[in-house]
Amino acid sequence: MYPCYLEGIAPERVETFPASWIVLENLLHVSTWVVAGMLLRPVRWFGWPMATVAWAVLVIAVQVLLKKHNCSGCYYYGKRCHLGWGVLSAHMFRQDSGSPAIGVRLSLFYVVGPPLILVASILIGALQHVWTGHWFLVGAYVVLNAVVLVVRVKGCRLCAMRRTCPGSAVKDR
């Protein structure tokens, strides 16, 4: 469990985020992951888009593990945070069943993933004969990630856990 939650210290915050916010933010995240998978699609093994399959497995695994390690010890456990993951975590895992140290490492997915996908998609486009739409998707991926970052930062600024959450996009002190 995170120290501010244990000590009952929760700075001014939004107690429950509106469902529309949660749906929008999650749709943005899912959109970036889907576009990333589409960008990796030209990498095939025996005719199968193996990079896309590997990406999908990675996204699902990281998301499940994040709910355990970051969300099960969060102030919003069982509540609607800006991502709605506190409610999901409560349905999936016991409270405090995760490790914040592991959560920190898992949160790197949001920092390292987008640039890696961008570089990989540019390399794929340069090295393989890809359809014109590939370059449109590269642009869409960049724009989607910029929008996700803006929305996530806004949500994190209103969150009670913003100072201690390993996945926080802001660390105001």
pTM: 0.85
d(CA 5, CA 73): 8
Least confident of 33-47, 74-88, 153-167: 153-167
166 within domain boundaries: no
Give the residue numbers spanning the domain of 94: 10-157
Q: In total, how many domains does the chain have?
A: 1
- CB atoms inside a 10 Å sphere around CB 41: 19
Confidence of residue 3 (pLDDT cuts 50, 70, 90): low
Contacts of 101 (CB under 8 A, 6+ apart): none
Q: Classify residue 167: in a domain, yes or no.
A: no
CA atoms within 13 A on the CB side of 163: 12
Specify if 5 maps to a domain: no
Neighbouring-strand partners of residue 45 = 48
- For 81-123, write each residue's pLDDT tens digit: 889 999 999 999 999 999 988 988 998 998 899 999 999 999 9
Say if CB 75 and CB 164 are below 8 A apart. no
pLDDT tens for 23-36 read 999 999 999 999 99
Q: Which two tokens stand for residue 66?
A: 């994040």
- Classify residue 8 by its DSSP letter: T
